[in-house]
Amino acid sequence: MQIDRDVLDARIARGCRCFVARSDDEVVAFGWLATRTEWIGELELEITPRDSEAYIWNCATHPAYRRQGFFRAVVNGIAIQARREGLTRLWIGTIDIPPAKAVADAGFAPALRFTTVWHAGIRWLRVRRAETPDPDLQLAAREVLAIRGRPLRIGTSMKRAVLRRH
């Protein structure tokens, strides 16, 4: 739940917004929304949402408040606000954990699946197509994750690992 002040200031400065859920007066869960290029630390890739798109990231619930629907509320709340603002698509990445079902319930469809391994200073990445009947969605996902202007390649790649505070 802790985010360093300088990291938080930098997020706000580049236009990210933080949505929070409260229990009484206390912030117990949050999620961030970006409309510009953002770093995905779990993949070591950048995502650049297109016009009228955005990316939900860094969602967390305080351990004492988990399994009470706060993550679900944050994701749904961001989606409602995004729709109000005229955004037509949201991107989100989930890890393979039970709470990810809240994301599917909110209407998100899987586009790509990733496997990452860090070893000896190298980041290995495997990208697969998700089982979706919508090839346009897969291509759109590969385009927002493009590297040097080229849609993210399906398959395996490696690069030197980097740690970014973001």
Site of interaction with ligand COA (CB under 6 A): 29, 59-61, 66-72, 94-95, 98-102
Cβ 61 to ligand COA shortest distance, Å:
3
* CA–CA distance, 53 with 88 (Å, rounded to integer): 6
Cβ 56 to ligand COA shortest distance, Å:
9
Which of 102/144 has CB closer to ligand COA?
Answer: 102
Which of 69/151 has CB closer to ligand COA?
Answer: 69
> CB atoms < 10 A from the CB of 21, how many?
21
* CA–CA distance, 73 with 66 (Å, rounded to integer): 12
What does the angle CA 107 – CA 89 – CA 36 come to, to the nearest 5 degrees?
A: 130
Cβ 39 to ligand COA shortest distance, Å:
15
Cβ 74 to ligand COA shortest distance, Å:
8
Which of 95/120 has CB closer to ligand COA?
Answer: 95
Which of 100/146 has CB closer to ligand COA?
Answer: 100
Cβ 41 to ligand COA shortest distance, Å:
11
Which of 151/166 has CB closer to ligand COA?
Answer: 166
